[in-house]
Amino acid sequence: MTSRPIAEDLSLSDALVTEFPSVESLSISYLQSTPGDGYPGTSVSWDPSKGDRLECLNTACLKGGVAIAALLSPIVATAQSKAVRKKPCSGQERMTNGEFRPCANVFMIAVELRYVAS
C-alpha cells in the first residue's frame, strides 16, 4: 500500500458555485491509498475544469473517484471551515476474467472552506 500526496486547488467550478452559494473558496488536498503497485509516480491535482470529482489513480477503475458535491454537502450544512474525510473510491474495477469488483482505493481528504460573509 502506498500513499501519494496530491496537490490542491482554490477555485470552485460553476456547478459547485451553484450548489454551494455560501462557499467563497475551497481548498482540497488528498492522499490516495493504492493497494498493489503499477501506479505512476506522478501526483494528480484536482482541476475543477475537468469535473467535480477527485480522480482515481487506478487505471482499471471505471467511474471511480470521489464526488466533491457529496463530500461537501454535510460539511457545508454544518458550516465547518475544516474537515477531514476518509472516502472509498466509488468505482468498479474490471478484473482479467471480465467481471467487476469495487475499486479498493481509499481517499483521505482534507477540506478547508471559506464562507461568503453574510
Binding site for Zn ion (CB under 5 A): 56, 58, 61, 64, 89, 91, 103, 105
CA-wise closest residue to 30 among 111, 91, 114, 88: 111
Judged by CB, which is closer to Zn ion: 13, or 58?
A: 58
The alpha-helical segments, DSSP class H, found in 5-98 are 14-19, 68-77
Judged by CB, which is closer to Zn ion: 50, or 114?
A: 50
Closest approach of Cβ 102 to Zn ion, in Å?
A: 8
Closest approach of Cβ 18 to Zn ion, in Å?
A: 27
Judged by CB, which is closer to Zn ion: 76, or 103?
A: 103
- What is the b/e burial string over 83-98, where b = at least 16 CB atoms within 10 angstroms of the residue's CB? beeebebbbbbeeeee
